[in-house]
Every structure is written in structure tokens, then in C-alpha cells.
Structure 1
Amino acid sequence: MTYKQKLAAIRQQMKDKGISAYIIPSADPHISEYLPDFYKCLHFASGFTGSAGTLVITLEFAGLWTDFRYFVQAGEQLQDTGYELVKLKVQHAPEYIAWLAEVLDDQAVVAFNDRLLSVLLGELLEKELADKQIVFKSDDLLDPIWDHRPALPKVPAFCIDAKFTGETVEDKLARLRAAMKAAKTNHHLISSLDDIAWLFNIRGGDVSYNPVVLSFAIISDSNATLFIDLEKVTEADKALLNLAGVQILPYGDIDNALTALPEGCNILIDPKRNCFGLYRLIPKSAVVVQDINPTTHFKALKNETEIEQVRLAMIKDGVAITRFLIWMEQNIGKIKITELSASEKLQQFREQQDGLAGISFNTIGGYQAHGALPHYMATAESDSEILEKGLFLVDSGGQYFYGTTDITRMIPLGEPTEEERTDYTLVLKAMIEGSKTLYPQGTCGYQIDAICRRPLWEHAINYGHGTGHGIGFYLNVHEGPQVLNPTNVAIPLQIGMITSIEPGIYRPGKHGVRIENLVLTVSHTVNEFAQFYAFETLTLALIDTALVKKDLLESGNVHWLNNYNQMVYDKLSPHLSEEEQLWLSQKAKAI
């Protein structure tokens, strides 16, 4: 079926069932960012491959609501599909709800698969459309037309030892129960896969790039139950979990477990990370407390064991990046290199490192104009040859058994233009400004975001994505609760958090520039004013100085850059050959 035929088939079902509007979110029952193939509904219905967006279909209009990162990509992918691009004004905002309030008649029927809608969105729909007395219905209109729909994954799961995580399952459960008690709850539903992976020291391969396993958990003040495909867990790991006080039940038993909750229990749920369908199974007699999962806060604060292993992962990753940069310089113009072949070569260098479990996301390798697409993903059709001119943006990461990495570097090719040099230097300055900031305890991400943007704002330049996100420990490359973006999210940065800093400049049709490091929040100073924190830069990879316009940098920026590149050389050189050491020493010279 073509996408237009699929849209027609969805609308026919809507007519048959009296549905006025149908909503298709990008989600699964765990409200994940990255999805198993079984739940890639946006791609199936419209051809859009981005990781964020919502399709809304009425009998007269069909649109994809998505943000700045995907405007160009969505515009191209939606051609001749019957869907139109609707550009979000605010990243991740459900602006389609206001649109539905305008176009729907009173008492219209709005349908969606309630297993793919978060509690937050479900309640927001009910609230915002209450005046119109909208009737809500859960229905899956895709499954009847999805021939050869992929099966749910069957990848084995495995437990990891506390000597790697720094904390046992028993200790994590004890901390969680203390948080539940403080929230005046005696039950807790967890659906988010990374929270479950962290809590039970378990990893899997059910989602590309994220080492998680499809599962749910219910924790009470006396029991812990993990709902998982039993075939995925070895008998030895089942025994380990049982010893930690964890009961293991089939994945599909979660529905019955929720309906059978004790009369009048108090249950804690995260409204952003549980689906509306499960929420509606909770008995009416239960007292529901909505708040962020305590485990989300716990896992954001990396312990010393995790931090030391992440530092090791950064050395491994830095070696791979260095060898890739050398390979690019030595081979550009001599052999044919494309966006895809360069990304494959980078992955090969990572695979040569001990402990690599895979890559942490699909590599963004954007040459020239493709670099202006923040979440560009090269395909066989779009794959551009990389020539001896312009800029090549490479945003990539590795999943190591002892840490997760995420790094963006710019590779200059040939003689740069003044605009390319200026953009590169301003982005570098923005990244440095954030990295060297001292900030008092209680500082939130939006404050650091503004500090990073200031060097660009001074030139009337801005970018449409956040400046940074949290990073998991051998877990999801995007992790909360902290985030560096303009939204007034009242989550302060705390000691032990690992966060990216990745400002950018994007000029459509020309080039994109983004430079990204990962930083660790550490204690810096305690005085009569406050406790001050700082960022320790964890990422170890050369920042090329060939494009730098030194007159645009302040002395503190130059000092930081020279010290950083020297640190990269000092820490990586023992792991490099003499030839590689010589190359890096020349590139890392102070400016």
C-alpha cells in the first residue's frame, strides 16, 4: 500500500466507526523515545522516520506535528503521502490539541490507541476538549491494515553485576521504597524501560541503540514484580533476581496485576512515562499520586563506580574518534567517501575497542547542507559524497558495557569560507562558555542554556533545539530529568549528573555546525555565598582549531581550548601508536 492508500484505509475505518479525529503518537506502551519496529507507527502510516512527532487525521485533513529538528526532513518525507507538515512553535508541545478544539464539532469522537498515549497527554486531551463534550475512544486503526507487521522483539536480557553498577538491586529497591513512603504511597508502577533497567541491573536489546528490555514493574512496600517475556531471562538470572526479592511474571500479566491492586491502595505513577491505557486499569478506589519516577532522579546521579567506568569509556571512544579523524584526513580526495561509508568507518573504529556493545544512536553524518538538518539520517537515496571542500558534521556515540558516549565534531575539508569559520568559532565559544561556567547549587538547565546561547545571541543567531540532555550509564543516550533548554524546567543540576553541551548554527542549504561534549557536574567551591558547582569535561576528542577565528574568542575561551586539547593528547596518547601520537600532538598545539 502507498501512504495515500494507508491514509484512505484509516479514514474508511474512521467513517465506519464514527470517528472524527484519529491521533497517532510516536510512542509505545512504555512511552519510549526510540521504538521497537512493532511500534513504529508514524513511519508505517506516513513514511516519517523522525523520533518525535504526532499524526492527527480527520476526514478532511491529515498532518504531522513536529519540531524544528525535523522540518526539512519531514517536508521531504511527507511529499505525496496525503499528510502536511505542521511546524511546532515549542519543541515537544502538544499544539495539535488546540487545533482539534478549533475544528471539531461538539460531541465528536476522538480515537487513539491508549497504549501509545501518555497519562499526561490523555488527561490533557480530556481537559482541553471538555467544553466540547468530546467522546474519547481507544482503537488501533493501524493493525488491521499493517500486513507483515514486525513481531515484538525476542532479544535475550541479561543481569549486570553490582561491581559495574556500584549498587545492588536490594539497595536500589530500599531507596525506592523510602521515596515511595515519603510520597505517602505503598505501590509504584514503572513502565519506562531505562528506569526498569537501572532498578533491576538488567539490560537487553529490544530497542535499537538502547540496551533495554520490554518490561513493566510494580513495586509495593513488601514486594517487587518484574513483568517480562520469561523466555528472555536465563534461569541463572531469574535466580539472581529472586534472591534480590524480585518476583518475575509474564510481560502480558501487567493488566491483571493492575486491576487486582488492593482496595484503597496509594499508587505512585509518572504521568509522562506511563501509558493512558494502563492508568485507566487502576481501580477507582486507589489513590493515585502523580510524580516523576524516583528512579529517574536516582539514576541521573552517577555513583563513583559508574563515573570511573565512564571515564574509561571516554578514553576508548576518544581513541576511536582520533583514528577516524586521521583516516578522514589521509583519505579524503583519494578514495570515494560518502556520508554512509564515513559513518560505517567510524563504527568500525569503535568496534575495535574493548567493551563496545553497539552504537548509542544512529550516526548523524551530515555533509554541507545535510549538516543543517539537526537529526539528519543518511539513506541510500540521500547519501552524499564528501569532497575536499566545506564542512562535515559527525554526531555519534557508543554503548560500552561501562558507559554511554555522545559526541559531535566538525571536520573541515578544504579552504573554509569566512561564514563557515565564523559559525564554527561562535558555536565553539558557546560550548566553551557553558563548559567553564561556575554556578551555584540550585541552578537549573535553562540558566545554563542561556549562558551557552549568549555568544550567538550577540550576533542575532539562535538554534531550535535544546543545548543539552542527560546521558545514561550504559543506558539511553537521552536521559532525564535534567535538560539544558529554554523551557523553565525546575530540575536543578546536581553532583553526579552527566549532561551534553551541544549548541549549533544551522544555515539551510549551506551547512550546519554543532560541537558537543559530555560534562559531569562536580563540586567546586563552598563559601559564604553558596556551594558552587562546575562541569568536568568527560569527552576526550580533538577540537580542530583550523577553523577558529581567534579574534572572536575571549582570552578565557582560548585558555580553555588550549588546555582541553592538551588534556586530550595527554590522556589518549598512551593508547595511540607513535604515528597517531605525532598527528594528535600537531593538531593539539595551542593557538
Structure 2
Amino acid sequence: MSENRERILKLQEKMQELNIDMYLVPTADFHQSEYVGDYFKARKWLSGFSGSAGTLLVTDDQAYLWTDGRYFIQAAKELEDTGVTLMKMREPGVPTVDEFLEMNLVKGSCLACDGRVISVSQGKAYKKMMEDKEGRFYCQEDLLDGIWNDRPELSKEPAYLVDIKYVGTSREEKIEMVRRAMKKYEADVHILSSLDDIAWLLNIRGNDIIYNPVVLSYVIVKADEVTFYVQDGVVSDEIKNELEKAGVVLRPYFAIYEEVKTLAKDSKILLDEGVVNYTLFENLPEEVTTVNAMNPTKPAKAMKNAVEMENERIAHIKDARAMCRFIYWLKKTVPEGTVDEYNAAEKSREFREEDKDCLDLSFETICAYGSNAAMCHYAPSKEDCAKVESKGFFLIDSGGQYWQGTTDITRTIAVGPLSEEEKKHFTLVLKGNIRLAMAKFPYGVGGAHLDILARGALWDAGLDFNHGTGHGVGYLLNVHEGPQNINWNSGIRPGGMIPLEEGVLISDEPGLYLEGKYGIRCENLLMCKKAEKNDYAQFMNFEVVTLVPFEREAIIPELLGETELKWLNEYHKHVYEVVEPLLENKEEKEWLKEATAEIK
């Protein structure tokens, strides 16, 4: 019996003791973070599935794992011999988690989960579901306590401040902006629990989630004070003094759960029910009034100010130097037969870390050769990685955290001869990337409206990719940032209908994945900017801030339109002009000149 199966059996035994019929284990921490620290990786510990997104549901005799199209191949491999059934989200005939619960929970049954790892909106829905079934929703404890004996401790890495020269706006100004937003809702209390919003508000960063420079914490904003709930030892005396100058008072991390019980009964509380956890909400006095609305920090954080926009350009120039050096190294070294996916990932890290302003990577590097690249979020390990041969495609999706901002880039690189099919598919993906980058649109347009530009050439060929085209990117923060995105399916990704504002940094990353063969993705980051304003509208367009050449050897020029080819040649010319002076090696300079040469 596999270790994961044994763990699930132990959980099922505890469920039987408590008369629980189904137990939910989402991929979440107490803050609804996209990525979570080791303490919160209960779903991975139980099931063996290591992807960043998924929900495990354990019944009295079965277990089910829901994940999205990015992870179907990976999940099928990792769930072997665990007894866990893979539920492929959004595939025909596959119910959602909630639909499955509705169909299979009988009258008088009990659904359970740790109320701290689900949102208010989820908790309310599950509570109503069980009331309708005359059953019980039990969310008062984490059932893994006592089962997961070697569970990692909660991370409590030291926090650090971000200077105003990088972020352009002081914490005092940001706090005042939140208070103005509270007045619009006539709220006198705002509960903020999303870690990237807290980091942005207080101009503070940390290392409590790998690659995401955030601090495990909560914030309560009132008209006359701000309370910052954080673990002991995380905030130095120097930082504490700086925060106190802005009226920020420190309290222990878990103290918030008791202190919200003491809020005045006539309080009107602003909170985002999609983010604040259910246990925290349940601890509020019954008499208070709550207002469910998006945290005012979220759209403000997404719209980079002029200082941040200029710094992001600098960060991407730094990143371009590292990536160009990496691509040259890869092409030169692969024929020697010494390159595998793991040491390639480590080499890309080395090139980034040569820059003193690079603090870390922005996510786990995806280095995938051949068929491994068909697994959209595949990441190699030292023990399990493929050797890179002198043929076909190599895909690298990587990024860095710099003082000047966050980067995210994907390049699909020819490491040897390519088939005509590979070239055709690459060109169609690149065509989508270019079309989106060239977009000009009236203010009010959201990413869902633009998605066809990136997918159109693939759709015309009867092809598609099973992930979003674009996600927002934070400033020295999370590489995935809302509220906006580029995805035609606004029912699944509602941020696609939110207007793209000036200063939004968003990815442009169409792809194509053929299981067992290869994967292709071409990703740049785009900065949304105002174009001209006339009688029709305020028009918007994109500035491409990523400055790394696309693979010329994989392009079939005839498949690109005249304006697309013109755009590509101008882009490559700009890349050469900016990056060439930063390269010290003569051979690297010669490679870049060839890689950016005009395509006719």
C-alpha cells in the first residue's frame, strides 16, 4: 500500500470517529493565497499530487482530486497507486466539486473542512447546502492535527521594507486611500487578509511563501488606527518604528481571531468574502453589518504608478540580459551532451543572480524538453529530469524578483532540427502573441474581449490551449496578480471583464501542447498605457517590456501577416539595441545579432 493511501486511511478513521461523511482539503492557507507554504500543503501530503492548484475530497471509502487542464498529465502520473480518482475540471461529464457534493451528500450527512482555509463565500455556500440537506457543516478543526506528525512549522521569515524610490507611494498615502474607500461604503472597519494586499499597503515584504515575497499576517484598518497581526520575531524593531510612524500597531498573528469578537456591535465592516477566511468571519459579533466588496487595495495595486512603471522597465532589461545569456549558453552547450532540464534551470538562476538587485526567482522555473513541455506546469527535479538532446524544442518559463519589479517570461527554444509541424505550430503561437501585443482598444475593454487575438490563429487551425492567455503581475510581489486577466471564459475567470487600466502589467502567453510530443509557449509581459483620446474614446495599447528574441529558426515567415512580420522585426531590432551593450562576451553579442536579424 502506498504511503499516500495509508495517510488517507488514517484521515478516514478520524472522520468515522467524528461522524463526518466528507472532508474537503483545498489548496489554500488562511489567506486564500494561490501558492502556499509547506505547513499548508495538506492536499499534497495526503494525495501525492504536487501541482499548485487542486482540491481533494475524501469520503468514507474514496478520495477524489480536482485540478485544471494545466495539470491533467502530471496529476495522472502522481496519483498512480494512491487510490485517488482524478477529476478533470471543465471536461465533459465531470462535475465540479460543489456539484459532486450536492449529488452525493445525503440527508442528515456531515461535510467538514478547516474553516480557516476556505473563504467566507465558500463557507456560506457549504453551510446552506448542509442546512438544505438537514445535515451538518463542521469547520471547527483541522483533522490533520494528530495525523500529520512531522508537519512543518508555520513560516516566520524576517520581514523587510521597500524604499519609496522603488514603489513611489508611501504607506501613509496608501492607508489614507483605503480609508477614503471605506467612507464610500460607510464602513468604519476594514479586514484585510490577502497577503499581497497587506504587503503592498504597508510597503513591506517577506519570504513566508517561496517566490512570493509576502508576510503571513492580517490587517484591520479603522479611522484612527491600523493593526498589523504578525508572528513574533518577524518584524524588527527598526521596521516596527517605521510602521508606528504611519499609525500601525503590531499584534500577535493569531490574536485577530479573538479580537474580532470584541468589535463594536454597531460596526460596519468592509471585507472581501472571496478572500477572508470563514472562521474569521464566523467570529464576528452577530450584530455587526458586513459589506462584501473587493479590497480597495487590489485595483490600486494592479495599476502601477509612474515610478513603478519605470522601475519595471529596468527590471526587464536586467532580466533580458540574464535570459539572453542563458539561451546562448543552452544552444552552445546542448551539443556537448551535458545538459539536462534541472541543471538548465539552475543555470538560468545563476544568470539572474549575477545582478545584485535580483532577490529571488518569481516562481519555480519550468524547464521542459520535448514531451515534458506538454505538461504545462512541469518542473524538473535533480532526481527526475530529462536530458536535453540536439533536436526539437526546449521550453523555459521563468522569472525574477528584483527591487525594480517582478518578471515572467517564456521562450520555446530550438535545440536542434525541427519538423515542419513544429515550425508551423510555433509560428501560430507566436502569431497570437504578436496580435495581442499590437492591440489597440477603447478604454473599458477587458481581457476577455482581447483573448481572440491570441487564440484566433490557433482556432482557425482547429487548435487551442487549456489555460488563460494572460495574468496580472505584481510589483516585487506575486507573479499572478488580479483582478484583471486575459481569458475569454469570463464565467471561470471573472477578471476578464474588468477594464484594463494604465499601469497594469499583464502577461501575453498563448501556447500549444501535444501530449507525448512537445509543448510551445511564447510569453512577454505587457504594460497597459493610454494612447490617443478623441471623440470616439480614450484608446489604450500595450508596451512590451520583455526584451528577449523569439526563436527565428522556428518561424515560417509566410504564416505571418505583413504587419505582424514588421512588428517582429522592429521588436527584435529594439531588443538588440537595448541588450547588446549589456553583454560582455563577444560570442554572446554575435549570437544576439544573429538571433535578432531581420526576417524577410
TM-score normalized by structure 1?
0.98
**Equivalent residue runs for 1:519-534 within 5 Å:** 519-534=526-541
- State whether structure 2 residue 591 is matched by structure 1 residue 589: no
1:486 equivalent in structure 2: 488
Q: For residues 244-259 of structure 1, what are the structure 2 equivalents within 5 Å?
A: 244-259=246-261
Instruction: Tell me the residue number matched to 2:194.
Output: 192
1:57-103 Cα offsets, whole Å, 9 max, x none, are 11132100111001011111111112110010079x99111111111
Asked if structure 2 preserves the Cα contact closer than 8 Å seen for 1:313 and 1:400, the reply is yes
Q: Residue 128 of structure 1: CA displacement?
A: 4.3
In terms of mean alpha carbon deviation, does 447-456 or 360-369 score higher? Answer: 447-456
Alignment check: 8 A CA contact 2:156 2:216 kept: no
Whether the 8 Å CA contact 2:337–2:389 is kept in 1: the answer is no
1:184-583 correspondence runs (5 A)? 184-488=186-490, 489=494, 490-577=497-584, 578-583=586-591
Q: Which whole-Å CA distance do the structure 2 matches of 1:180 and 1:347 have between them? A: 42
Give the secondary structure class of the aligned counterpart of 2:52. Answer: coil
Indicate whether 1:183 and 2:173 are aligned: no
Alignment of 1:16 onto 2:17: yes
8 Å contact from structure 2 (residues 511, 522) kept in 1: yes
- Residue identity in the other structure for 1:3: N
Q: Give, in whole Å, the separation in 2 of the partners of 1:248 and 1:465.
A: 40
Query: Take 1:11 and 1:569, find their aligned partners in 2: how far apart are those partners?
Result: 60
Contact map agreement 1:101 1:129 (CA 8 A) in 2: no
In 2, Cα distance between the equivalents of 1:482 and 1:389? 38
The answer to whether the 8 A contact 1:98-1:128 is kept is no
- Structure 2 residue runs of 5 or longer lacking an equivalent are none
1:381 Cα shift? 4.5
Specify the SS of the correspondent of 1:230. coil
Q: Distance in 1 between matches of 2:153 and 2:536?
A: 58
Q: Is 1:115–2:116 an aligned residue pair?
A: yes
Per the alignment, in what secondary structure is the counterpart of residue 307 of structure 2? helix
Contact 2:110 2:130 in 1 (8 A): no
Once the 2 structures are TM-superposed, how far is the Cα of residue 581 of structure 1 from its aligned partner?
2.0
Q: Which residue of 1 aligns with 2:56?
A: 55
SS in 2 for 1:492: coil
- In structure 2, how many angstroms separate the alpha carbons of the residues matched to 1:391 and 1:111? 46
Letter in 2 for 1:369: S
**AA in 2 matched with 1:101:** E
Q: Distance in 1 between matches of 2:91 and 2:28?
A: 19
User: How far apart are 1:552 and its partner, in Å?
Assistant: 1.0
Rounded to whole Å, the distance in 1 between the matches of 2:145 and 2:521 is 40
Matches of 1:94 and 1:224 in 2, distance apart?
Answer: 43
Aligned residue-pair number: 590
User: Distance in 1 between the 2:460 and 2:124 partners?
Assistant: 41
1:172-195 residue CA offsets vs partner (Å, 9 max, x unmatched): 001010011112211111111000
Report what 2:90 is aligned to.
89
State the Cα distance separating 1:368 from its structure 2 match. 0.5
- Aligned-partner Cα distance in 1 for 2:108–2:56: 21
Is 2:108–2:136's contact at 8 Å kept on the other side of the alignment?
yes
Question: Which amino acid in the other structure matches residue 5 of structure 1?
Answer: E
Aligned-partner residue type, residue 152 of structure 2? P
Per-residue Cα deviation, 1:138-195 (whole angstroms, up to 9, x for no partner)? 1311121112111111211011222221011110001010011112211111111000
The Cα shift of 1:277 comes to: 1.0
2:76 is matched with which residue? 75
Q: Distance in 2 between matches of 1:134 and 1:318?
A: 57
Q: By how many angstroms is 1:575 displaced? A: 1.0
Contact 2:130/2:137 (8 A) holds in 1: no
Give 2:527's aligned amino acid.
L
Question: Does structure 2 retain, via aligned residues, the 8 Å contact 1:7–1:82?
Answer: no
Secondary structure of the corresponding residue to residue 416 of structure 2 = coil
User: Could you tell me how far apart the structure 2 residues matched to 1:478 and 1:97 are?
Assistant: 25
Residue 127 (structure 1) shift: 3.7
User: Quick check: 1:227–1:253 contact (8 Å CA) kept in 2?
Assistant: yes
Distance (Å, rounded) in 1 between the aligned partners of 2:381 and 2:238: 42
* Alpha-carbon offset, residue 551 of structure 1: 1.3
CA shift digits 1:121-143 (9 cap, x unpaired): 11222344543223100131112
What is the letter of the counterpart of residue 428 of structure 1?
Answer: L
The whole-number CA distance in structure 1 between the counterparts of 2:276 and 2:77 is: 32
Tell me, in whole angstroms, the C-alpha distance in 1 between the residues paired with 2:579 and 2:376: 29
Identity, % of aligned pairs? 40
1:97/1:128 contact within 8 Å kept:
no
CA separation in 2, counterparts of 1:516 and 1:206? Answer: 27
Residues 337 and 388 in structure 2, CA contact (< 8 A), matched pair in contact too: no
Amino acid at match of 1:266: K
Q: Give the superposition deviation at 1:486.
A: 2.1
Partner Cα distance (1:126, 1:148) in 2: 32
